[in-house]
A and B are shown apart, each in its own frame.
Chain A
């Protein structure tokens, strides 16, 4: 009933023949899924600009710090967003991170594999696990929520059991020495634009250590991956046939199948995407810390989904954007780091995260109504 009254209302508002109705730029903006996240991130930056503007949060070092946290979350959030647009969830992202970590560390430390082979091994495992998730969901028709929840437990359990079996403990340290001279590891472990920071340091434009080297040494690899993945995902969604298939598969599975979209293949590839993104996340963190931990990535799947939702993805699929998810990750990353620069107790971060998500869902729901029921 509410739909009907709304449609009458909107016709009245437009005044004349509906075909003559001008679409305001605001309306066009409202139709973009990432609007909420964009507004949210602007608010977050204004807030911290006022509250923590003079604390060093926005110095080169501080900025890179919160960008690094945002970027790590962003890498998995973008993959989670693509999968959500395709109409499915992956709750095994966090466990996959832990599992990928030990897939890198155990062969490299205990079996003497060169680091690059163990990295390739981890990615191979990711593709297989993602494929398994996808094929289970597509073939059985079970909700992905259940299938990947099972995978969450299986992977986390296997990570812990295998690690303890082989190493007798839950952490595998000692990777740092292997990074140097490795043909692949630098992809996940090198700060870029170091010359720029050295130069900025020599010009006394950024903070220096006591030995004269800059405090911030370069752009962390997570940020580069994050930017690259955001651009790549956006290109796929907006500019390719496969992107159209992702929207169609999530929007209406039956309809898409009827017009010839290979829905099953699309969904399987998206599950592989989340598993691979988790492994990229794992590579960066494991090589940065120099050790793998069986508990690494715990609850990350929920943060990724939260970032995707704040970024405008609908839980029902068929709508959302990669840029939105990226902005969602930036909001969470900025707040989780920024809160240290304020007087607020950091315990409040989770409260913020939850509240933010609720607001986003209510807002997105309203937007979806606007998008589809304007006549």
Chain B
């Protein structure tokens, strides 16, 4: 038994002539939060979709609990325990908290043609689960639209965990949130990891990633720039490794140059 829960070895994905991913390797232990950093167009979305079973990798292998795995559909990934929370969260704002929590996997009671959606049980579980995160849903039948962005994010994560995720893939969970809301979501992510889940946190915000991450993988133009343990790398170094960093350095130099010329 290897120490890793899930390993993505040398994953490559091509779309026609475009090399979307090339030789990306990531390994995760239980309880680890790995942050996947990269600028727009670095291949983050393609990598997530490959992890989630939407795309099949053209090269490389996925090893989960020491077994090589091929996903034929997103359902397969879900079934073995890779839960992906996309940016759109897959929540319907007009539907209630409970109805969203159990969407597609409603608990039922009764027999044959008279099976009904067990709303009471669903309400209890949904309220309990949200309570564990510290979100007090006064009424689980209230519409999700009434919740804040952070609460919705937590609901989506909590749902993925409830339905058996062992590896949690989170796509930009904090990008649309304010400081307070973002810290609420990050706190929850740390809590989830401390309960033994492996978390892949995709973001382009180093300031959100650095405090919670154990390791960092930087993607640039479809290639991995390597995986770094937190003790080995500083926030500034990470920032500059994402293409944006070098560009910004260059920009700074250029601006100084312009300043100098104007002042003369």
Q: Report the Cα distance A243→B95, complex, angstroms.
A: 12
Binds B, one of A184-192, A211-219, A246-254: A246-254
Is B86 engaged at the interface, CB distance under 8 Å to the other chain? yes
| Residue among B78, B90, B92, B115 facing the most chain A CB atoms (10 A cut-off) | B92
B181 to chain A, nearest CB (A): 12
Is A271 engaged at the interface, CB distance under 8 Å to the other chain? no
A167 to chain B, nearest CB (A): 41
Contact with B along A315-327 (1 / 0, CB 8 A): 0001100000000
Q: A368 touches which one: B94, B95, B108 (CB < 8 A)? A: B94
Q: Report the Cα distance A248→B139, complex, angstroms.
A: 20
Q: Is the CB of B106 within 8 A of A255?
A: no
Q: Is the CB of B117 within 8 A of A318?
A: no
Is B190 engaged at the interface, CB distance under 8 Å to the other chain? no
Residues of B within 8 A of A241 (CB): 106, 108, 115, 117
Contact with B along A337-375 (1 / 0, CB 8 A): 000000000000000000000000000000010011111
Is B88 engaged at the interface, CB distance under 8 Å to the other chain? yes
User: A371-B143, A375-B146 known; A244 and B90 CB under 8 Å?
Assistant: no
User: A19-B136, A239-B117, A239-B119 known; A244 and B94 CB under 8 Å?
Assistant: no
Q: Report the Cα distance A260→B146, complex, angstroms.
A: 24
Q: Is the CB of A248 within 8 A of B104?
A: yes
Q: A243 touches which one: B78, B91, B117 (CB < 8 A)? A: B117
Q: Is the CB of A254 within 8 A of B90?
A: yes
Tell me how many residues of A have a C-beta within 8 Å of chain B.
30
Q: Is the CB of B74 within 8 A of A258?
A: yes
Q: Report the Cα distance A254→B86, complex, angstroms.
A: 11
Q: Report the Cα distance A312→B179, complex, angstroms.
A: 38
Q: A19 touches which one: B75, B138, B147 (CB < 8 A)? A: B138
Is B145 engaged at the interface, CB distance under 8 Å to the other chain? yes
Q: Is the CB of A375 within 8 A of B103?
A: no
Is B183 engaged at the interface, CB distance under 8 Å to the other chain? no
Q: Is the CB of A319 within 8 A of B94?
A: yes
Q: Is the CB of B146 within 8 A of A251?
A: no
User: A31-B143, A256-B104, A375-B146 known; A318 and B94 CB under 8 Å?
Assistant: yes
Q: B88 touches which one: A21, A240, A248, A254 (CB < 8 A)? A: A254
Is A197 engaged at the interface, CB distance under 8 Å to the other chain? no
Q: Is the CB of A371 within 8 A of B91?
A: no
Is B125 engaged at the interface, CB distance under 8 Å to the other chain? no
A138 to chain B, nearest CB (A): 17
Is B231 engaged at the interface, CB distance under 8 Å to the other chain? no
Q: Is the CB of A371 within 8 A of B92?
A: no
A316 to chain B, nearest CB (A): 9
Tell me how many residues of B have a C-beta within 8 Å of chain A.
32
**A372 to chain B: closest residue by CB:** B145
Q: Report the Cα distance A240→B106, complex, angstroms.
A: 9
Residues of A within 8 A of B212 (CB): none
Residues of B within 8 A of A372 (CB): 93-94, 143, 145-146
Q: Is the CB of A251 within 8 A of B95?
A: yes
Contact with A along B108-146 (1 / 0, CB 8 A): 100000011101000000000000000010110001011
Q: Is the CB of B94 within 8 A of A371?
A: yes
Q: Report the Cα distance A260→B139, complex, angstroms.
A: 25
Is B17 engaged at the interface, CB distance under 8 Å to the other chain? no
**A314 to chain B: closest residue by CB:** B94
Chain B interface SS verdict (over half): loop
Q: Is the CB of B93 within 8 A of A240?
A: no
Residues of A within 8 A of B92 (CB): 247-248, 251-252, 255-256, 318
A50 to chain B, nearest CB (A): 37
Q: Report the Cα distance A374→B116, complex, angstroms.
A: 30
Q: Is the CB of B89 within 8 A of A255?
A: yes
Q: Report the Cα distance A325→B70, complex, angstroms.
A: 48
Q: B103 touches which one: A240, A244, A254, A374 (CB < 8 A)? A: A244
Is B102 engaged at the interface, CB distance under 8 Å to the other chain? yes
Is A29 engaged at the interface, CB distance under 8 Å to the other chain? no
Is A123 engaged at the interface, CB distance under 8 Å to the other chain? no
Residues of B within 8 A of A252 (CB): 88, 90-92
Is A245 engaged at the interface, CB distance under 8 Å to the other chain? yes
B110 to chain A, nearest CB (A): 9
Residues of A within 8 A of B138 (CB): 19, 21, 23
Residues of A within 8 A of B102 (CB): 244
Is B237 engaged at the interface, CB distance under 8 Å to the other chain? no
B119 to chain A, nearest CB (A): 7
Residues of B within 8 A of A254 (CB): 88, 90
User: A248-B95, A372-B94 known; A259 and B136 CB under 8 Å?
Assistant: no
Residues of A within 8 A of B115 (CB): 240-241
Q: Is the CB of B74 within 8 A of A244?
A: no
Is B148 engaged at the interface, CB distance under 8 Å to the other chain? yes
Q: Is the CB of A260 within 8 A of B106?
A: no
Q: Report the Cα distance A209→B116, complex, angstroms.
A: 48
Q: Report the Cα distance A21→B75, complex, angstroms.
A: 40
Residues of A within 8 A of B145 (CB): 371-374
Is B105 engaged at the interface, CB distance under 8 Å to the other chain? yes
Contact with A along B214-258 (1 / 0, CB 8 A): 000000000000000000000000000000000000000000000
**Which 5 A-B residue pairs are closest in the complex by CB-CB distance?**
A372-B145, A251-B92, A255-B90, A260-B104, A259-B104
Besides A19-B136, A240-B116, A260-B105, 4 new A-B residue pairs in contact (Cβ under 8 A), listed by A number: A21-B138, A248-B99, A371-B94, A372-B94
State the A residues within 8 Å of B (CB).
Answer: 19, 21, 23, 31, 239-241, 243-245, 247-248, 251-252, 254-256, 258-261, 314, 318-319, 368, 371-375
Can you report 23 A-B residue pairs in the complex whose CB atoms are below 8 A from each other?
A: A19-B136, A19-B138, A31-B143, A239-B116, A239-B119, A243-B117, A247-B92, A248-B92, A248-B99, A248-B104, A251-B93, A251-B94, A254-B90, A259-B103, A259-B104, A261-B104, A371-B143, A371-B145, A372-B143, A373-B146, A374-B146, A375-B146, A375-B148
